[in-house]
Chain A
Amino acid sequence: MTEQQTPPPTRKHGGDSHVHRRQRGKNLAVLAALFAFVAIIYVVAMIRMSGGTFP
């Protein structure tokens, strides 16, 4: 009896890359939002600690 090996699933490059591109866009947007949030917290902290004289 010969063992039949199932071929590895072929990647649908066109479809996958489209989904990945959109996902990468969203990931970058989340990254930018997180950086912006951290920057805002930093600047607000500096302003409040300086009594409004920062920068």
Chain B
Amino acid sequence: MTDSVIAPEIMDSQVSSGTVRDYVALLKPRVMSLVVFSGFAGMMVAPGHLHPVLTLVAVLCIALASGAAGAINMWYDRDIDAMMDRTAKRPIPQGLVPADEALAFGVILTIASVALMGLALNWVAAGLLALASGFYIFIYTMWLKRRTPQNIVIGGAAGAFPPMIGWAAVTGEVSIASIVLFALIFFWTPPHFWALAIFRKLDYQHAGVPMLPVVAGEAETKKQMLIYTLILLPLAVSPYFLGIGGLTYLVGSIILGLAFVVLAVQVMRSDDHKPAKRMFAFSILYLFLLFAILIGEHLAA
């Protein structure tokens, strides 16, 4: 990586010139918000009752572990982050936080959040939290991301864990319903990320990250995006049949699923990147609304 925007000696500087805000930025707050929301949804729909303070602690643990994994990801990917427009403003490429400090920050927060989850809730939830962090750091970031165009398909499992962790925090176990919530995010991740990769293709190409649009081309990517949205359509409906979603959820998931498919078709039929940008934005709304309906139904009940 000789043509990185920021010199490696700046990134590996031992002197921290960053503020608290820069350390917060290491935690990828925007990604964290969706992770926390889906984890909270898992807790809400799980059978059983949790003390409100313990619910808050579980949410905090999921948030911290997610952020910590993000910080370690930024430490490992600092070379390619410096080369991509989307990530060049991150605290390590900017020289605001020394790389070693970001790693230490991430490791300490990971250990603290997993330990707290185990002590406050249960060790099944803590184990799943550790598994999700390990999967994101070792399997996705260090192994798959730079090696295969299927990186986000397999690596997407890491982001699919939160509802399962939330469920386990309440029940102390893994069930079919929590596996379905896991699968929902797992199959949502590829069309979500590939929509981004289509309009950020040059960025990934420049950094040498083998995202599907870079390796297989946009046409193949768009075809696969449509396949995943079609798989997602019946999958997103299944919580209704498992008893964790009500009628509102059934109707909402069908409408949202169909809209997702329509957007995927629009992406496939278009040569410019506008539909892909629209699909990326909608994908976030899609997942947020699905879990919001689940939460809303349980609060109303």
Contacts and interface: CB of A to CB of B under 8 A. Distances in A.
A16 B119 CA distance: 42
Contacts of B60: 40
A29 B20 contact: yes
Nearest to A36: B60
B54 A47 contact: yes
A39 to B, nearest CB: 11
A41 B53 CA distance: 11
Q: Which of A29, A44, A52 has the most CB of B within 10 A?
A: A44
Interface string B48-77: 000101100100100000000000000000
B259 interface: no
A20 to B, nearest CB: 12
Interface residues of A, number: 13
B interface residue count range (under 10 / 10 to 19 / 20 to 34 / 35 or more): 10 to 19
B134 to A, nearest CB: 22
Contacts of B193: none
B293 interface: no
8 contacts: A25-B19, A40-B60, A41-B119, A44-B119, A44-B120, A47-B51, A47-B53, A48-B120
Interface of A: 19, 22, 25-26, 29, 37, 40-41, 43-44, 47-48, 52
Given A37-B112, A40-B120, A43-B53, 19 more contacts: A22-B17, A22-B18, A25-B19, A25-B20, A26-B16, A26-B19, A26-B20, A29-B20, A37-B116, A40-B60, A41-B116, A41-B119, A44-B57, A44-B116, A44-B119, A44-B120, A47-B51, A48-B120, A52-B51
